[in-house]
Amino acid sequence: MPTYKDMVQPVRASEAEMRKIHIEPVPDDQKCEKAIQYLDEIRKKYRSFVMAMESCVKCGACAENCHTYLGTKDPRNIPTNRAELIRKIYKRYFTLEGRWFGKLVGAEDISLDVIEEWYSYFYQCSQCRRCAMACPFGIDTCEVTFIGRQILHWLGIVPKLHMGVGAAMEKVGNHTGLPKPGIVDTLEFLSEEIMDEFGVEVNFPVDKPNSDILYIPSSADYLLNPYTLMGAGMYFTYIGANWTIPSTVSEAGNFGLLFDQYFTQRHNVTRLLDAAQNLGIKKIVWGECGHGWRAAKMYIPSLADRPVNWPITHIHDEVAYHIRTNQLKLDPNKVDHPTTLHDPCNYTRACDLQENLRTVIKACVADFREMYPNKERTFCCGGGSAILFDDPEMYQRRIQLSAKKAELVRATGVGKDGNGYLCAPCSICKAQLYPMVEEHELGVEVKGLIDLVGKALVWK
Amino acid sequence: MSWFILQVLPYITVTVFTLGILYRLGRWAGARIVHNITLAPFPQNNSQVVGIFATEVIFFRSLFKSDFALWVGAWVMHIALFSVIGGHLMGIYTLGKQFVYIGMSEGLSEAMSSLLGTTFGIVVFFALLYLLFRRMSIQKVKEVTVTSDYLILILLLSIVTAGDIMRLVPSLSMEYAPAKEYVTYLVMLQPIPATAEVLHNVIFVIHLLLVQLLLIIFPFSKLMHILGMFAERWIINRPYTEPAPGLPNVDVPAARAAGLGLPAEGGVE
Ligand code: HEM
Ligand code: SF4
Ligand code: SF4
Ligand code: SF4
């Protein structure tokens, strides 16, 4: 099933599953009409979208700056062509030139085929914004795919993966569907691990009232990236913080950003603000999650439905601050592997975290090698916006989408002796790179950044 | 026909151009900047924002970094086109004596105006050819092109060709004086006398016809990128103030002194 005509597509949620995330799927014979209606409503709201529709000169400068085009050579993966999938409809229905001149200016009637194209190509975009950086005008194709995915969502077309995450978040407050007892158990287990491996006593307080700091980990850290959570726990213990993890929102990610910026995204924000209020905290600190940090830092101010009384910072902002002020004793020789840093695009293009990441990694790693292009010019790992699909066709695409990153990692030489570290401080980057470093045989192990802080801390 | 193009059409052109642009700007203004999506590195204040705008407008900085081959053609074309447009305004208004303001003699200024006009006219021509050739020969650019993208380039090339012919073929040339006279009639809403030179120079009439065609389609085409670029950057290049780092009630030296994390019998190392 996951192909339509010549296009690959992620497995989609069933109608019953769509109802779980509050959407009544639109029947096929009404999809076109509804799509136009939703597009009309939304174009009147988002200027970032209107500008992408109305001021592109089709110069093609964005093409070679998008890893999806580089990896697949599929012309519909050129950013402006991705946007064109919706622009041709926009022109046809909402501009004079499109109504009068049609094909000549690239306008086209809507059809189910077009909607299927949207589904395929908007879910190959990792919403990494590299095109916005490359474009002479700064046209952000990510804003177009946000809106494309939003319309698809309202039509009832969402990948099973994203639906599942949205539903789990609403049910238990995290993406992996881990209920509070599971969280507490896992954290106790992690405490024991830390004691065994590092010989220090770290407790992970859950829902502790009157805490000063609310730490929001990525739920993937409980099972997939335990060292990330361990590193965070060790750091907070080391500095003597009065901190807690909320069981009601034990999730740094927010898939709403990626497919539904209305209900789903706001729902996480509401949970967060409730938790902050109930636990009486003073500051919110975010864990390692790229899109989640972007959703928190850049979107909470405009999505919150009440005043936000708590400053929100990223754990690496705080670690970097403690390093710059010489408050942490770190021994970079404890991490003796050649290490390179994959800049998660959501941190470095959307959130301006690039310098702090470097402050932290240089303090924790003896043999650190930059990967170029880096910082805000970084290429996405190919998993961005959670296109981490496992069915064979999409998995093949993921390998292609990560090809550019693999080339850059190889160029750093850290994996030459097979003992390199690829530091990727974002849950989605990690989930993408764990299998991809194997597929591309890079000779590196994928690590989080706070993992390395945990390893490098000197306790006595 | 010449009479229609030179006497009637200009008023239609100006009306369509102005209303069209206002219509497009109105559409843009109607939509809002919903979320802060400024692009890193974040500018800290408005003067840094002005800096970004300036380097983008004057040097096409992003394009320089992302596609150098295109930058060469596009930047040269824009600078030359901008100079040509400026030359038209100043040259016709001052009859080629604009450089007197920077200390040249009248004769020298006229010669300078003529030389620069011809040079930039030729530069624009070749730069446009380069862009057209690029569009037709590079696979990825071909793949993003629709018919109207070619047509606009061809239209521009035709305008420039007509202009260059008047510059380069003495028998078809048009002086500043009759052009100024013509513009004055238009602005003063007076009829052009049937004997006016402009009505009898075919190339000039074609040049003006094509320019007006360009201005008429301008508000309904990608040429709006001139204003679009400012509107887009207004969204993605805005100042952002970071919250202060530092955690509440955290005293690291005290925590270290208390031996937090270390088991009673002493930890590792
Ligand atoms: C503000 C900064 C500007 C930037 C970054 C910019 C950039 C570009 C780019 C990248 C192209 C595409 C070239 C191609 O077709 O491959 C282009 C085309 C063009 N620009 Fe600009 N431009 C700017 C301002 C202007 C201004 C002020 C004018 C008018 C004087 C102008 C007039 C044109 C024209 C006539 C074209 C040719 C249209 C075409 O290629 O179809 N631009 N511009
Ligand atoms: S770089 Fe910008 S203007 Fe050029 S084709 Fe891409 S989106 Fe359009
Ligand atoms: S956001 Fe990233 S993946 Fe999407 S079109 Fe732009 S460069 Fe390509
Ligand atoms: S997965 Fe990582 S690299 Fe890719 S878009 Fe997200 S943050 Fe960027």
DSSP string, B116-158: HHHHHHHHHHHHHHHHHHHHHH-HHHHHH--HHHHHHHHHHHH
Phi, psi for A254 (deg, rounded to 5): -150, 90
- How many other C-beta atoms can be found within 10 angstroms of the C-beta atom of residue A253? 29
Whether A48 and A132 have beta carbons less than 8 Å apart is answered as no
A458 contacts in B (CB within 8 Å)?
269
A134 to B65: CB separation less than 8 angstroms, yes or no? yes
The answer, yes or no, to whether residue A16 has pLDDT greater than 70, is yes
B268 contacts in A (CB within 8 Å)?
198-200, 459
Per-residue model confidence (pLDDT) at position A3: 76
Distance from CA of B212 to the nearest CA of A (A): 17
Ligand that lies nearest to the alpha carbon of residue A123, given by its number in the listed order: 3
Q: Whose structure tokens read 């220090």?
A: A200
Q: Whole-model pTM?
A: 0.95
B225 to A349: CB separation less than 8 angstroms, yes or no? no
Q: What is the mean pLDDT of chain A?
A: 97
Instruction: Report d(CA B231, CA A138) in Å as an integer.
Output: 10
Give the residue, by CA position, lying nearest to ligand 2 atom 8: A56
Per-residue model confidence (pLDDT) at position A4: 80
- How many other C-beta atoms can be found within 10 angstroms of the C-beta atom of residue A168? 19
B216 contacts in A (CB within 8 Å)?
none
Instruction: Report d(CA A330, CA A452) in Å as an integer.
Output: 10
Distance from CA of A187 to the nearest CA of B (A): 16
State pLDDT tens for residues A79-134: 999 999 999 999 999 999 999 999 999 999 999 999 999 999 999 999 999 999 99
Instruction: Report d(CA A36, CA A154) in Å as an integer.
Output: 12
The answer, yes or no, to whether residue A410 has pLDDT greater than 80, is yes
Per-residue model confidence (pLDDT) at position A2: 64
With cut-offs at 50, 70 and 90, classify the pLDDT of residue B34.
very high
State pLDDT tens for residues A296-355: 999 999 999 999 999 999 999 999 999 999 999 999 999 999 999 999 999 999 999 999
Per-residue model confidence (pLDDT) at position A1: 43
Q: What is the mean pLDDT of residues A270-280?
A: 97
B37 to A105: CB separation less than 8 angstroms, yes or no? no
Per-residue model confidence (pLDDT) at position B105: 93
E runs forming strands in A51-127: none
With cut-offs at 50, 70 and 90, classify the pLDDT of residue B44.
very high
CA nearest neighbour of A79 among A32, A3, A10, A148: A148
Ligand that lies nearest to the alpha carbon of residue B154, given by its number in the listed order: 1
With cut-offs at 50, 70 and 90, classify the pLDDT of residue B265.
low
Instruction: Please report the ipTM that was assigned to this predicted complex.
Output: 0.94
Q: How many residues does chain B have?
A: 269
A294 contact partners, CB below 8 Å, separation of at least 6: A257, A346, A347, A350, A351
Domain A24-157 fold: Fumarate Reductase Iron-sulfur Protein; Chain B, domain 2 (1.10.1060)
| Whole-Å CA distances, B151 to A19, A162, B29, B157 | 48, 43, 29, 10
When scoring B144, B147, B233, B268 by the number of chain A Cβ atoms within 10 A, the one with the most, hence best to mutate, is B144
Instruction: Report d(CA A126, CA A294) in Å as an integer.
Output: 13
Percent of chain A topping pLDDT 70 = 100
Q: What is the mean pLDDT of residues B70-82?
A: 98
- In chain A, where the domains are located: 24-157, 165-322, 329-456
Centroid of ligand 1 to alpha carbon of A130 (angstroms): 21
State pLDDT tens for residues B106-122: 999 999 999 999 999 99
E runs forming strands in A357-399: 368-369
Per-residue model confidence (pLDDT) at position A5: 83
Residue among B28, B250, B268 minimizing CB distance to A198: B268
Cβ of A384 closer than 6 Å to ligand 4, yes or no, is: yes
State pLDDT tens for residues A36-74: 999 999 999 999 999 999 999 999 999 999 999 999 999
| Whole-Å CA distances, A187 to A196, A246, A253, A452, B263 | 14, 12, 19, 19, 18
| Whole-Å CA distances, A111 to A40, A290, A358 | 16, 35, 48
Q: What is the mean pLDDT of residues B77-86?
A: 97
Give the residue, by CA position, lying nearest to ligand 2 atom 1: A135
B267 to A199: CB separation less than 8 angstroms, yes or no? yes
